[in-house]
Amino acid sequence: MPRQAGEGASGPNKAFVTIPEAKCHGMRMKFFGNPVRKVAEVKFMFKASKAFSSFSIDDLQKAKEFYGKTLGLKVSESAEGLELHPGNLDVFLYPKSNHKPASFTVLNFMVDDIEAAVDELKKTGVRFEQYEGAIKTDEKGIHRNGGPSIAWFKDPAGNILSVLEDKGH
């Protein structure tokens, strides 16, 4: 029987490639404690001491206001763009003249109570997306399907963000 991701050999420059047991992103499945199957072990050729995520925006000042004041995140500005510091994560936003919004969620914010988070964000002017079909949302913009509840919204550049309920994980 295959071992669970993270079991067995580990160490510097090693990682497991996983396939989720259900139709969901592997990291999200692992994060919420659901099983993922190990399919291969991969050795990296380099040794990274730190990693961060990044995505483009079209207006630095609008992004600074939105992420800093509307969302209340710690934001610092550099010559190259904005650094966000939600929790213990670093996210870099860079201006791009031909920016096109991502068609997928670029940043998820874990919250204890999605109802309260959605209500609070709406008070700051955040509008939640309404979807139909497989990711149908309710009147508040919250998708509920037995898994973690999630609500999507956009930043001023049109990038998709979300609040995702963390029920004790």
Which pTM does this prediction carry? Answer: 0.72
The predicted pLDDT at position 89 comes to 85
Tokens at 12, concatenated: 């510097």
The predicted pLDDT at position 76 comes to 95
Tokens at 4, concatenated: 């669970």
Q: Please say whether the beta carbons of 96 and 57 come within 8 A.
A: yes
Residues with Cβ within 8 Å of 107's Cβ and at least 6 positions away in sequence, in order, are 53, 55, 86, 91, 159, 161, 162
pLDDT per residue of the chain (169 residues) written in tens, 0 to 9? 343 444 444 445 444 444 444 444 444 444 455 555 555 666 666 676 788 899 999 999 999 999 999 999 999 999 999 999 988 889 999 999 999 999 999 999 999 999 999 999 999 999 999 999 999 999 999 999 878 999 999 999 999 999 999 876 5
Tens-digit pLDDT profile for residues 46-68: 676 788 899 999 999 999 999 99
Cβ neighbours, 10 Å, residue 149 = 22
Query: Could you give phi then psi for residue 70, rounded to 5 degrees?
Result: -70, -50
Tokens at 152, concatenated: 């999507």
Cβ neighbours, 10 Å, residue 87 = 9
